[in-house]
Amino acid sequence: MKAINPMPGGGDSVRAVPAVGVGPKGADDGGADFTPEQLAAQWEEDKPPAAGPLANAASSLVVLGAGIGAVALSLAMGLGTPAAPQPGLWPFLISCVLVALGAFQLVIGRHNRDAEKFTRMSLAPLTGLVTLAAMVALMPLIGFEIPALVLCIIWMRFLGSETWRSTLLVSAIVVAAFYGIFVLALNTSIPHLF
Amino acid sequence: MDFLNPVINGFAVVLEPMNLLYCLIGVLIGMLIGVLPGLGPAATIAILLPLTYNVEPVTAIIMLAGIFYGAQYGGTITSVLLRLPGEASSVVTVFDGYQLARQGKAGTALGLAAIGSFTGGTAAIIGLTFLAPVVASFALDFGAPEYTALAMLGILLVATISSGAKAKALIAGAIGLLLATVGRDVFTGENRFTFGSLELADGIDFVPIAMGIFGLGEILYNLEERHRAAKAPSALANVWPSRKDLRQASGSIGRGSVLGFFLGILPGGGATIASMASYAMEKKRAKQPERFGKGAPEGVAGPETANNAAATSSFIPLLTLGIPANATMALMFGALLIQGVTPGPQLVEQEPDLFWGVVNSMYIGNILLLIMSLPLVGIFVKILRVRAAILAPITALITLLGAYTINNSMFDVTLVVVFGVVGYLMKKFGFEAGPLVLAFVLGSLLESSLRRSLLVFGGDPLGFFTRPISATLLIVFVLVALLPGIRIMLSKRKASAAEAASDTKIKETV
């Protein structure tokens, strides 16, 4: 039996999975026995590849940069005193914490394994993002119907490898349904062509 | 009895047809997203927030609550049948549930889980009914200093109890607090971090942040997963567990109810931790612990009971203190704020209809869910065949169009997309979204209470220690903040050895 990713999503604390078991033993994937330890090890193996120290450093640097920027902006707003604070005091406190945490993470978190590597699979979210951005840009101009249809087709056919037949059929139904709900039934002011 | 009057009036609220309908819709959606791997309850609630704008507050919260506890029921089904937890809180159910299914006892596992969930949920509602007013009346005397300490402790606990890297979760929390400062400063009227943008002057709305980070971020992240078509079993045998099974599991259901109830109240606790703790406890208590992982009914009944009890009891801190205990509750908090209701100790007194309506709707919701997960479970198993590739664009479109309807503005839609990217990147780099959203909703409360307390104390931060409750909370805050540091120091040596081992392992799989 092929390994199944346990957590393709989920709300809070999705990363709870590895905490369940302990042993990073080689999981016997024969399908005979699934002790919690083996399952946890198998899930661990099935996770996307972890990113290297460079990615960890980059994310820490972004945090650090944002923190330093916020410190500068808060200083510009003025701090005042605790008894008579200026608008910058509270953001200043938070951004100091942010800078400290970012620096801590830069040093300590270099070898964390909780970041994921960008792989060829990451092109899918990028494509998805482009279609979303295009939809946001085009909606006020030509209404939502055509961009939504194109988005559905791209996501189903190219990102989800559905067949053309089901892609076209479902996309058309989806757009029609959204038109029915948002325009006809709810009478919202969503920009629409028809 | 005076105490019971508002409780009984609450039932009248629930039985209004509109509220019953939304309760049904909520638990149905919850059950569905629990069954479908992909979106969790937090993401779903975030995406559906615009739906709540045009309904009564009580109706809105009844629906959102239904999604939350409904997902706890639904998540079980995939754990048992496919070894694929639909929800994080059902992970441990896989261990014994899937084994039971392999032995042809899938029905037993699902039946026990449903009965356990119902018992745990109901027990927690009863606990909530009696405990919540007590907590609320105790908290009525809370002033600004207590709220400052409580909000800080809440954010810290949610960040540190999260399972990822603690520093990263705290960073997410700090960013959430910072985002909350965008806009006009309520005390001085000066603009902060608006960069001259008029749209930012009123601050960033909670809904686009939640929809982007939880909703769209999750959708984009899921696009990266390979779309594995789940093979659902076509038929399911009897789901009514035998008397023997029930007797065997009754103890664990009872223990799970109590454990889940208390873990749910704690900030940062909640369904996931409760289910894991219950599994561990059942295994430890069992006379033959070796049965666990090989199809022990207690290993399904206990955790499933606990996660439902916790899902219900985590409403207590939100509805009585105004402090959300986890990310999903932060969304409820936001939803209430949108409705012009500020959750807090005065809620029980001032809005008894809302409070008791929501609490009592959970009885109805749990009964509906029991019906859906015993006689109707076959229908939900069939839903497993809906492919993620088809659902993804639909949820994305719901998010975008829903975001537009909040204020009829494209600016909100743009914000959702921007925060969607932020949410995706956070997930990729191992930053949890929960603390960010939680800190964001608590941000303005925290700042204003802090500034008001400092005014009272004449600018002396040590003033917090002159009041017993705020002093205690702050001492706990310091302890919790220092604890991981000490623990890391101690386990440093052990960790370095383990890391070398896991390094080689991960390279093999690349």
DSSP string, B39-52: --HHHHHHHHGGGG
Average pLDDT value for residue range B176-202? 86
For residue A25, give how far its alpha carbon lies from the nearest alpha carbon of chain B (Å).
Answer: 9
pLDDT classification of B102: cutoffs 50, 70, 90: confident
State the smallest CA–CA distance between residue B218 and chain A in angstroms.
7
Say which of A6, A91, A105 has its CB closest to residue B171.
Answer: A105
Q: How far is B446 from chain A (nearest CA, A)?
A: 10
Residue B333 has a CB neighbour count (10 Å cut-off) of 24
Q: What is the pLDDT of residue B236?
A: 64
Of B193, B420, B432, the CB nearest to A73: B193
Range of weakest confidence among A179-188, B231-240, B471-480: B231-240
Q: Long-range CB contacts (< 8 A, 24+ apart) of A69-77?
A: A70/A94, A70/A95, A70/A98, A70/B178, A70/B193, A71/A95, A71/A96, A71/A99, A73/B193, A77/B190, A77/B192
Which residue in chain B is spatially nearest to A112 when comparing CA positions? B165
**Per-residue confidence band for A49, with pLDDT thresholds at 50, 70 and 90:** confident
Over residues B116-141, the pLDDT tens digits come to 999 999 999 999 999 998 888 888 88
Six-digit token string for B55: 């309904």
pLDDT winner (highest mean) among A81-85, A187-191, B311-315, B388-392: B311-315
Q: Which of B228, B328, B454 sits opposite A12 (nearest CB)?
A: B328
Exposed, middle or buried by CB within 10 Å (0-12, 13-18, 19+), for B496? exposed
pLDDT level of residue B347 (50, 70, 90 thresholds)? confident
- Cα B183 to Cα A86, A105, B59, B179, B205: the distances in Å are 14, 29, 31, 9, 10
Indicate the pLDDT class of residue A33, thresholds 50, 70 and 90. Answer: low
Q: Say if residues B229 and B390 touch (Cβ distance below 8 Å).
A: no
Which pTM value belongs to this model?
Answer: 0.84
The whole-angstrom separation of Cα A4 and Cα B82 is: 9
| pLDDT 10s digits, B217-246 | 989 998 887 545 455 554 566 667 788 888
Q: Residues B434-451: pLDDT tens digits?
A: 899 999 999 988 999 999
Which residues in chain B have their CB less than 8 angstroms from residue A151's CB?
A: 393, 396-397
Interface membership of B422 toward A (CB under 8 Å): no
Do B325 and B261 meet the contact criterion of CB atoms below 8 Å apart?
no
The yes-or-no verdict on residue B421 having pLDDT over 70 is yes
Q: What is the pLDDT of residues B58-76, one digit of tens each?
A: 999 999 999 998 988 888 8
Residue A14: per-residue pLDDT? 37
Percent of chain A with pLDDT strictly greater than 90: 40
Q: Which residues in chain B have Cβ-Cβ distances shorter than 8 Å to A2?
A: 228
pLDDT for res A38: 73
Average pLDDT for chain B: 85
The band of B407, judged by pLDDT with boundaries at 50, 70 and 90, is confident
- Rounded to an integer, what distance in angstroms lies between the CA atom of residue B206 and that of residue B500? 43
**What's B408's DSSP letter?**
T
Distance set, CA B265 to CA A25, A113, B17, B75, B161 (Å): 36, 31, 31, 21, 13
In this complex, do B85 and A14 lie within 8 Å of one another by their Cβ atoms? no
Residues of chain A positioned with their CB less than 8 A from the CB of B172? none
Across the interface, whether the CB atoms of A174 and B421 are under 8 A apart is answered: no
CB atoms < 10 A from the CB of B399, how many? Answer: 27
| Residue B19: closest CA among B358, B378, B470 | B358
The tokens describing A48, both together, are 């996307």
Report residue A50: phi and psi, to 5°. Answer: -80, 150
Nearest to residue B14, comparing CAs of B26, B2, B29?
Answer: B26
Can you give the C-alpha Rg of chain B in angstroms? 23
For residue B130, the distance in angstroms to the closest alpha carbon of chain A comes to 28
Predicted local confidence at residue B509, as pLDDT: 35
Q: How far apart are CA B484 and CA B504, in angstroms?
A: 27
Distance CA B406, CA B298 (A): 46
Over residues A105-121, mean pLDDT? 82
| % chain B with pLDDT above 90 | 33
φ, ψ at B191 (rounded to 5°): -80, 140
Put simply, the chain B residues between 366 and 395 with a CB less than 8 A from any chain A CB are 387-390, 392-394
Nearest to A115 among B38, B222, B429 (CB): B429
Do residues B426 and B172 lie in contact, with contact meaning Cβ atoms separated by under 8 Å? yes
* B61-65, B102-106, B254-258, B319-323: segment of lowest average pLDDT: B102-106
B223 neighbors A121 (Cβ within 8 angstroms): no
Taking the C-alpha atoms of residue B400 and residue B328, their distance in angstroms, rounded to an integer, is: 21
Segment holding B183, helix H or strand E = strand B183-184
Percentage above 70 pLDDT, chain A: 78
**Residue holding tokens 């392992």?**
B505
| Helix or strand (DSSP H, E) at B283 | helix B271-285
Task: List the one residue out of B155, B459, B470 whose CA is nearest residue A94.
Answer: B155
Query: Mean pLDDT, to the nearest integer, of A84-112?
Result: 88
Tens of pLDDT along B237-290? 666 778 888 888 889 999 999 999 999 888 777 788 899 899 999 988 888 888
The two structure tokens encoding residue B371? 């019906």
Q: In angstroms, what CA-CA distances link B363 with B119, B140, B215, B366, B368? A: 11, 27, 28, 5, 9
Name the phi and psi angles at B367, rounded to 5: -65, -45
Amino acid at A12: D
The distance of A35 to chain B (nearest Cα, Å) reads: 5
Map residue A116 onto helix, strand or coil.
strand
- What is the reported pLDDT for A32? 46
By CA distance, what is B496's nearest residue in A?
A111
Q: Under DSSP, is residue B191 helix (H, G, I), strand (E, B) or coil?
A: strand
Instruction: With CA atoms as reference, report the closest residue to B419 among B135, B199, B219.
Output: B219
